[in-house]
A and B are shown apart, each in its own frame.
Chain A
Amino acid sequence: MDLFDKFDQVVALRSSLPFEKADPFKVVVDEVISETEAVIGGRRTILAGTNNYMGMTFHEESINAAKEALDQFGTGTTGSRVLNGTYEGHKKLEATIADFYGMEHCMVFSTGYQANLGMISALGGKDDYVIIDADSHASIYDGCSMGNATIVRFKHNDPENLERRLKRLPEDAGKLLVVEGIYSMLGDAAPLKELLEVGKKYGCMTLVDEAHSMGFTGETGRGVAEELGVEHLSDFFVGTFSKSVGTVGGFAVSNHPKFDVLRFVSRPYIFTASLPPSVVASATKSIEAIKRGSNRRAHLWENARQLHTGLKEAGFSMATKTAESPIIAVHLPDVMMGTRFWEHLLLEGVYANMAAPPATPSGMFLLRISVCAQHTSEQISEIIKRFKKTAKAVGLNS
């Protein structure tokens, strides 16, 4: 029995897609010109699908700090956070994030994926309940699979559906409610006030993943909870350095007095090497810059609105009524159109993300754009123009 036989269906589906000159799963970036441009397949391409919301990948202070850390501490720690892998930089980064969130404690993980695995699997014990939104990111689902709690799922962004489920759970059981600030596929924001209030009413501890909202939502860029003034309703925030912070890594913050015990019980924190000192140094500088980055935030939101308005006027079917985030997604009718549109757009010199099930909710096919604070308004106009040209070429919206 070949263990690979079970993937035959996946292979068949992939080979049925009509890609001719490019394949979204095999894109190679040859050269990076700036935060917003690269050379892909020999073509100068506008990057419009990179999650680099705040454009921190070339932030000068972050690059300089990383270079200094490389010279001073070397290329890697070669060890776990709980053994030889905690340097002064890791502690300083944790202090910087705790300060950024105005919270007591912070743990830095090696990725955001591991931060969710580590928090959810450790907090959700055998007799506890973890309550999650149906459209949760894979890292939240995987954190659930890894732990021993009973998993309850509620309808996406629906506080009333959540309440009906919470009502059925034992009153005195341990409960962890997990939601995201902005959902990464459609770019829709969560009604955090209503969701967290219901959670608190039924005695849940609450965790908000601000992976796609940190940096540009809220007065200082802490996320949707800050924007809505409901941070006091969240016991834990999880975030990542792989989007607005422009590097790699993840974190969790909390005011819980016993929070630090997680360093000894959270397996995804313990059984992996810590972040390299250069990454830690650049993350620290980028988060400091994000805190005072209100100009970048303002321009990012302008870009998001300009793009949403332009595509809507051009007749695209938008995933959200207005720009709720820098993620702007358009619906495409089926996988064939999705494929052709994505490929044609890339050949026009715009890189966006093709999103298909199971990453998307309800069998949707999306072309997902994420804008960057460093995109100029001319680049946004150019993206809109090339979208229109592509739609015409592949026979969409006609």
Chain B
Amino acid sequence: MAQPATLKTIYDLITPINQKNAALAPETTFASDLELDSLTVMDLVAEIEDTFDIILPLNLLPELETIGQVADTVDKIVNES
């Protein structure tokens, strides 16, 4: 499970673009709950990268469907580096 601090940081990054006011939880999905288009997702990925000072490779993105999965991946990359 992702660190609560990681989740909170990601929620904060999503809040300004959460135009549907969807509830933010680890299970929340980017495509069907938040309805983010691919370009907004791209900007969000860049912000997450800069906030955590990591790289989220493009190859990983198709598998990351929920906020929780992104947070887990961020934690994993942060711990490895």
**Residues of A participating in the B interface, judged by any CB pair closer than 8 Å:** 134, 144, 150-153, 155, 161, 164-165, 168-169, 357-358, 361-363
Q: Contacts of B54 on A, CB cut-off 8 Å? A: 168
- A-B interface contact total, Cβ < 8 Å: 30
Q: A164-B50, A165-B49 are in contact. Are A152 and B42 (CB under 8 A)?
A: no
Q: Does any Cβ of A come within 8 Å of B32's Cβ?
A: no
Q: Is the CB of B58 within 8 A of A144?
A: yes
Q: For B65, what are the chain A residues with a Cβ–Cβ distance below 8 Å? A: none
Interchain CB contact (< 8 A) of B59 among A151, A155, A169, A361: A151
Q: Which residues of A contact B49 (CB under 8 A)?
A: 165, 168
Residue A152 contacts which of B38, B39, B53, B58 (CB distance < 8 angstroms)? B58
Given known contacts A164-B50, A165-B49, A363-B37, A134 and B57 CB-to-CB distance under 8 angstroms: no
Q: How many interface residues does B have (CB within 8 Å)?
A: 14
Is B46 touching A155 in the complex (CB atoms < 8 A)? Answer: yes
**Interface: B55 (CB within 8 A):** yes
Instruction: Report Cα–Cα, A169/B49, bound state, in Å.
Output: 12
Indicate which residue in A151, A164, A363 contacts B58 across the interface (CB closer than 8 Å): A151
B57→A152 contact, CB < 8 A: yes
A164 to B42, CA, bound (A): 16
* Residues of chain B lying within 8 A (CB to CB) of residue A155: 46
Residue among A151, A153, A164, A357 facing the most chain B CB atoms (10 A cut-off): A153
A161 to B49, CA, bound (A): 11
In the complex, the answer to whether B42 meets A134 with C-beta atoms within 8 Å is yes
**CA separation between A155 and B49, bound complex, in Å?**
12
CB distance from A278 to the nearest CB of B (A): 39
CA of A152 to CA of B61, assembled, Å: 11
Enumerate chain A residues within 8 angstroms of B55, measured Cβ to Cβ: 150, 152, 165, 168-169
Main SS at interface, chain B: helix
25 A-B Cβ contacts within 8 A? A150-B55, A150-B57, A150-B59, A151-B57, A151-B58, A151-B59, A152-B55, A152-B58, A153-B42, A153-B58, A155-B46, A161-B46, A164-B50, A165-B49, A165-B55, A168-B53, A168-B54, A168-B55, A168-B81, A169-B55, A357-B39, A358-B38, A361-B39, A363-B37, A363-B39
Closest A residue, CB atoms, query B37: A363
Docked complex Cα distance between A357 and B46 (Å) = 20
The smallest beta-carbon distance between A317 and chain B, in angstroms, is 19
User: A362 — which chain B residues lie within 8 A by C-beta?
Assistant: 39
Question: Shortest Cβ distance from B63 into chain A, in angstroms?
Answer: 14
How far, in angstroms, from A72 to B39 measured CA to CA in the complex? 51
Nearest neighbor of A362 in chain B, beta-carbon distance: B39
Chain A: CB-nearest residue to B45? A153
Chain B nearest CB, measured from A135 CB (Å): 10
Q: How far is the CA of A151 from the CA of B45 in the complex (A)?
A: 13
Q: When A and B form their complex, which 9 residue pairs have the shortest distance between CB atoms, in order from nearest? A: A151-B58, A150-B57, A168-B55, A153-B58, A151-B59, A362-B39, A152-B55, A151-B57, A363-B39
B53, closest chain A residue (CB) = A168
Task: Give Cα A339 to B42, complex, Å.
Answer: 27
Give chain A residues whose Cβ lies under 8 Å from the Cβ of B57.
150-152
Q: How far is the CA of A239 from the CA of B5 in the complex (A)?
A: 47
Q: Which residues 24-53 of B have a CB within 8 angstroms of A?
A: 37-39, 42, 46, 49-50, 53
Q: Which residues of A contact B81 (CB under 8 A)?
A: 168
In the complex, the chain B residue whose C-beta lies closest to that of A154 is: B46
Quote the shortest CB–CB distance from B14 to chain A (angstroms).
19
Chain B residues near A144 (CB, 8 Å)? Answer: 58
- For B38, the closest partner residue in chain A by CB is A358
Q: How far is the CB of B42 from chain A (nearest CB, A)?
A: 6
Please measure, in the bound complex, the distance between the C-alpha atom of A151 and the C-alpha atom of B62, giving whole angstroms: 13
Q: Which residues of A contact B58 (CB under 8 A)?
A: 144, 151-153
Minimum CB distance partner of A361 in chain B: B39
Instruction: Give Cα distance in the complex from A363 to B38, angstroms.
Output: 10
Q: Which residue of A lies closest to B81 (CB)?
A: A168
Q: How far is the CA of A158 from the CA of B58 in the complex (A)?
A: 18
What are the residues of chain B within 8 A of A153 when measuring CB–CB?
42, 58
Chain B residues positioned under 8 Å from A165 (CB to CB): 49, 55
Given contacts A152-B58, A153-B58, A168-B54, 20 further A-B contacts (CB under 8 A): A134-B42, A144-B58, A150-B55, A150-B57, A150-B59, A151-B57, A151-B58, A151-B59, A152-B55, A153-B42, A155-B46, A164-B50, A165-B55, A168-B49, A168-B53, A168-B55, A169-B55, A361-B39, A363-B37, A363-B39
